[in-house]
Amino acid sequence: MTTTAPALFTPAGPDASVPRWSSRVLTADDRSEVLALFTEPDFYYRTERPGTRPEWEILKLLGDDTRLLLADGRLAGLFAVEALGLPHICHYQLHLRLHAAAPLAWWISTYQEVVRATRWRHEVIRLAMRFAKFDERGLQFARAAGLTNEGTLAGVMVHAGRHCGQVFFAQTWEPSS
């Protein structure tokens, strides 16, 4: 099986050291720490207005598929892999967000780990991600990771009083049959 996306960027050099990643399900004890992530104005995890979301809405955004991303055991972000359509289509959407202090190398590294984990027990033909046009960190990651830019859906959200687009990215693999 071969990937049709460009080879992924591999962090290198002393500034690109990455932590040991792990993940787990949220518990009630994690709530305050997770809510604190959403106080960052650009923590765009399933919302384009994280800083003003109330607790009930954040809990709804998290759903039951969100997993904590732990860097050397400490909370560094959130992710969820969501099936788009029926499972046999093998098309998934990834929601991934790291806290503001995480360097680009962490984004790349955790993305690679998520891909490996997602393809471990399921066939994945397309893994999609979406970032708002104003999401600089998200767009920087998607380009650095070599994800395929599939286009922009214009005017689907409002930011700072103006309509903005959403950029669609994906990595694809050849179907097994």
Tell me if residue 177 falls in helix, strand or coil: coil
Of 27 and 176, which has the nearer Cβ to another protein?
176
Distance CA 48, CA 132 (A): 8
Distance CA 170, CA 77 (A): 20
Query: 71 forms bridges with which residues in the sheet?
Result: 21, 74
Q: Which stretch binds another protein (CB under 8 A): 21-29, 55-63, 126-134, 141-149?
A: 21-29
Residues, the chain: 177
Q: Which stretch binds another protein (CB under 8 A): 14-22, 33-41, 140-148, 163-171?
A: 14-22
Non-local (6+) Cβ contacts of 78 within 8 A are 34, 37, 45, 62, 66, 67, 68, 69, 95, 96, 97
Binders in 96-135 for another protein, by CB under 8 A: 110, 113-114, 116-123
Q: Which stretch binds another protein (CB under 8 A): 19-27, 53-61, 135-143, 163-171?
A: 19-27
Of 117 and 139, which has the nearer Cβ to another protein?
117
69 binds another protein per the rule CB under 8 A: yes
Distance CA 152, CA 131 (A): 9
- Total of chain residues touching another protein, rule CB under 8 A: 21
Binding residues for another protein, rule: CB under 8 A, are 1, 20-23, 67, 69, 79, 110, 113-114, 116-123, 173, 176
